[in-house]
Chain A
Amino acid sequence: MNENVDWSDEIFSILLEQRIKQVAYVPDAGHKKLIERVNEDNYFRDVPLTSEEEGVALLSGAWLGDERGVLLMQSSGVGNIINMLSISVECRFPLFMIITMRGEWGEFNPWQVPMGKATQSTLEAMDVKVIRVDVPDKVAETVAAGIKLTFDSGRMVAVLIGQRVIGSKDWNR
């Protein structure tokens, strides 16, 4: 595993290239650097949420108004968005999510394990296309492919970044 690959910076560049405008999030330590870069950049409209489900509705409205967005969260947030995905499913709104995993790789908090275990199957139950990435130097291409699939094909796509990837970075909890 290449620990020098800064996948957060790569995601940031891809969001810019792909004309993603609204960046909605409930913070996760795995997204710390990306959120900080978005906060500091005037191009992006950063939208901190009180609950992840707001992000699903927000990005539906953004698309109605012809803007692209991304929803950032950790795996526990997936439990909060399920019914709101009804909007995306029924209207076939494009919805792109980048989800950092908890509860699976060296997790210290047992309360994170249940939702971490259920994240992928829960998303798939609501017809979201799930693409997992567990290697840092594959994050960028996975995110780029996910964005294209989302907006060119009008689909809901979640990129799950494995906890192993986040754990491989030197981030301070």
Chain B
Amino acid sequence: MKGNELVILDRRHLVERILCSRDDLLLVTGLGAPTWDVAALGDNLNNFYLWGGMGGAVPTALGLALAQSKRRVLVLTGDGEMLMGIGSLATVAVQKPKNLVIGVIDNQRYGETGMQRSATAFGVDIASIARGAGFETATNVTTYGELDSVIPQIYNSQGPLLFNFKVTVSDHPMILPEKNGLELKHRFRAHILNAKKKIGG
């Protein structure tokens, strides 16, 4: 709550700025608004959208990052989803995947259920929790200037990294991607395996 009036980052602008230079980045999105934010930029075969399994975004991205160690993996999820799977930060810290980046889009609310406050609205600091787990880089990002400085880290710095983006409470249109899980799995795997053949990995 305190300081929330100082928050200026818009979640859609943020996601657009991060992903405009995505190249062959693999992206996992946590259920709810982060999935809609990414879908609003248009579909991409390197996206795996979660529509359920709350708390599972980070471990899904971890399994992918371990399996595809030559590819950069970003997971974008919300504060509520991250809090439900908060233990997975310990699991990631133990594995130390160099290619995994976690981006938390933190509006301090449960956006899909009526904008109830999450624990981050009461001062719980996800970046501090990640540092406590053993992440060497885990920071809060609150301005566009800070955002511009972390984007190169998202693509180039050694992971695991966590950035907790403080964003405004906003009312963007829901942009829904494909929701058939079987279809999402097939197309993601087919695309990744095809890319692997091309680079001879």
Contact = CB atoms under 8 A, between A and B. Distances in A.
Interface of A: 21-22, 45, 47-51, 53-67, 69, 83-84, 86-87, 90-93
A63 B185 CA distance: 9
A62 B64 contact: yes
Bin chain B's interface residue count. 35 or more
Contact of A21 (B59, B67, B71, B192): B67
A47 B95 CA distance: 7
A53 B67 CA distance: 19
10 contacts: A57-B60, A57-B88, A61-B64, A61-B67, A63-B63, A64-B67, A64-B188, A86-B53, A87-B53, A90-B51
A60 B55 CA distance: 13
Interface string B88-132: 101100110000000000000000000000000000000000000
Contacts of A51: 87
B66 A54 contact: no
B90 A50 contact: yes
A50 B91 contact: yes
Given A22-B66, A50-B87, A90-B52, A61 B192 contact: no
A91 B63 contact: no
Given A22-B67, A83-B54, A57 B59 contact: yes
A22 B181 contact: no
B45 to A, nearest CB: 12
Nearest to B182: A92
Interface string B159-187: 00000000000000000000001101100
A86 B60 CA distance: 13
B52 A57 contact: no
Contacts of B91: 47-50, 54, 58
Contacts of A57: 53, 55-60, 63, 85, 88
B17 interface: no
Contact of B59 (A54, A64, A66): A54
A64 to B, nearest CB: 5
Given A64-B67, A66-B189, A84 B53 contact: yes
Listed residue (A90, A91, A92) with the most chain B CB atoms within 10 angstroms of its CB: A91
B50 interface: yes
A57 B196 CA distance: 23
B9 interface: no
Contacts of A56: 53, 56
B66 A62 contact: yes
Given A54-B91, A87-B52, A65 B67 contact: yes
A171 to B, nearest CB: 25
B62 interface: yes
Contacts of A45: 66, 95
